[in-house]
């Protein structure tokens, strides 16, 4: 393996000069620089980044933790993070937890072991060490940013949208369309997103003078399959559902299939609206109405927030709320 010493010897200079040529070329006389660069090329030298990291004490690597990479919503955010991270000179390590606490802790440990500088967390699980901080009422012990859920009592920057308002917008759309028996399929009950979206649902029903009925509220786990199952349950009750607000697009796609599989029509018999605007929604049958989240921007904002945490910049705002948008397609129109 060729090291900086080999280059130094070859070019007839000191290792310091080689190091300078590589990191601040202007600090070296042109002629010397040329000799060094020649040696570098000749010997096919690439600096050892691990050694550099050890010396500099900066890793310029961040971890992004997602529950499930194959979820287009998460991967959209990751894409936003990646783009900006790259420009800002960070590497990104992507960790998938598949909902397992053990996996999550494993990835969070990478910042303890100095592999990475900080963490961006998507999803509803918190690393054990962070839970401990929350319990103790203190700030998390590692640089951390939350990129879609919020956790009360966790002192760290959070980026997201106003889920209550967004849910309101979705349900309002159903009301305006003339639906009066509006059901909802929520995510898991321990999830802040689920809670907020269910809250928006209730607020609109109340404001519209419609009854709020627990029997009209199904629960899924954000997968297509769970949306399909939950919708079937809802339909089985024979309550005359004529519209359904699903807490994400995947469940909405499942719900649509459930409706269609009973010979009912979407949207004539049951209007369906989802949440997220994933890529497949527009090509579902019928094309899915939804709330669009600015996934790319969410990712970038999270990256920016983490960068600020890492540089201990005055944390201007603990949370950034990005705008959402109603997208009307065939499933409600």
Partner DNA sequence: CTGAAAGCGCTAACAT
Partner DNA sequence: ATGTTAGCGCTTTCAG
Among 47, 134, 165, 304, binds its own copies (CB under 8 A): 47
Judge contact between 288 and 256, C-beta under 8 A.
yes
Size of the site for DNA (CB under 7 A): 30
- Rounded distance between C-alpha atoms, residue 238 and residue 102, angstroms: 42
56 in contact with DNA (CB under 7 A): yes
Tokens of 177: 């369309």
Under rule CB under 8 A, residue 6 binds its own copies? no
In the block, tokens 């419609």 appear at 210
Neighbours of 195 (CB within 10 A): 18
Residue closer to DNA by CB (options 55, 312) is 55
Site for DNA contains 25 (CB under 7 A): no
Q: Where are the alpha helices (DSSP H) in 98-183?
A: 101-112, 128-135, 163-176
Nearest to 61 by CA among 120, 116, 142, 119: 116
**Which listed option, its own copies, DNA, none, makes contact with residue 23 (CB within 5 to 8 Å by class)?**
DNA
Q: Is 112 in the site for DNA (CB under 7 A)?
A: no
| Contacting residue, 50, 135, 136, 189, with its own copies by CB under 8 A | 50
6 vs 203, which CB is nearer to its own copies?
Answer: 6
| Distance (Å, whole) CA 283 – CA 184 | 22
**41 contacts DNA (rule: CB under 7 A):** no
- 283 counts as binding its own copies under rule CB under 8 A: yes
Say if strands 243-246 and 271-273 run parallel, antiparallel, or are unpaired.
parallel
C-alpha distances out from residue 128 to 142, 145, 156, Å: 12, 16, 16
Binding site for its own copies (CB under 8 A): 46-51, 53-54, 59, 69-70, 72, 75-76, 78-79, 82, 86, 91-94, 96, 98, 103, 106, 109-110, 112-115, 224, 228, 253-254, 257, 260, 279-280, 282-285
Binding site for DNA (CB under 7 A): 1, 3-5, 12-20, 22-23, 26-29, 31-33, 47-48, 51-52, 54-57
């Amino acid at each position: 393996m060729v090291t900086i010493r080999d280059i130094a010897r070859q070019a007839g200079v000191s290792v310091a000069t080689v190091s300078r040529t590589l990191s601040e070329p202007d600090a070296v006389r042109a002629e010397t620089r040329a000799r060094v660069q020649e040696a570098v090329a000749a010997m096919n030298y690439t600096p050892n980044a691990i050694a550099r990291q050890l010396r500099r004490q900066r890793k310029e690597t961040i971890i992004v933790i997602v529950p499930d990479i194959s979820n287009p919503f998460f991967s959209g955010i990751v894409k936003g993070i990646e783009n900006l991270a790259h420009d800002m000179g960070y590497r990104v390590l992507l960790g998938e937890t598949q909902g397992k606490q053990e996996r999550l802790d494993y990835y969070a440990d990478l910042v303890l072991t100095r592999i990475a500088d900080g963490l961006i967390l998507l999803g509803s699980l918190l690393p054990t060490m962070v839970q401990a901080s929350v319990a103790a009422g203190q700030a998390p012990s590692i640089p951390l940013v939350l990129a879609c859920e919020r956790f009360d009592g966790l002192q760290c920057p959070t980026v997201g949208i106003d889920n209550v308002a967004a849910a309101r917008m979705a349900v309002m759309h159903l009301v305006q369309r003339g639906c009066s028996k509006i059901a909802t399929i929520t995510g898991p009950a321990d999830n802040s997103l689920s809670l907020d979206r269910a809250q928006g649902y209730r607020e609109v029903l109340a404001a519209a003078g419609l009854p709020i009925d627990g029997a009209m509220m199904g629960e899924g786990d954000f997968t297509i399959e769970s949306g399909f199952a939950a919708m079937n349950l809802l339909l089985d009750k024979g309550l005359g559902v004529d519209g359904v607000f699903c807490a994400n697009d995947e469940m909405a796609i499942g719900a649509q299939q459930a409706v269609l599989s009973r010979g009912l029509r979407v949207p004539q018999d049951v209007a369906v609206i989802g949440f997220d605007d994933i890529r497949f929604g527009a090509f579902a049958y019928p094309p899915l109405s939804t709330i669009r989240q600015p996934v790319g921007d969410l990712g970038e904002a999270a990256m920016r927030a983490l960068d600020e945490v890492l540089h201990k910049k005055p944390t201007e705002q603990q949370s950034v709320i990005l705008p959402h948008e109603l997208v009307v397609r065939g499933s409600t129109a």
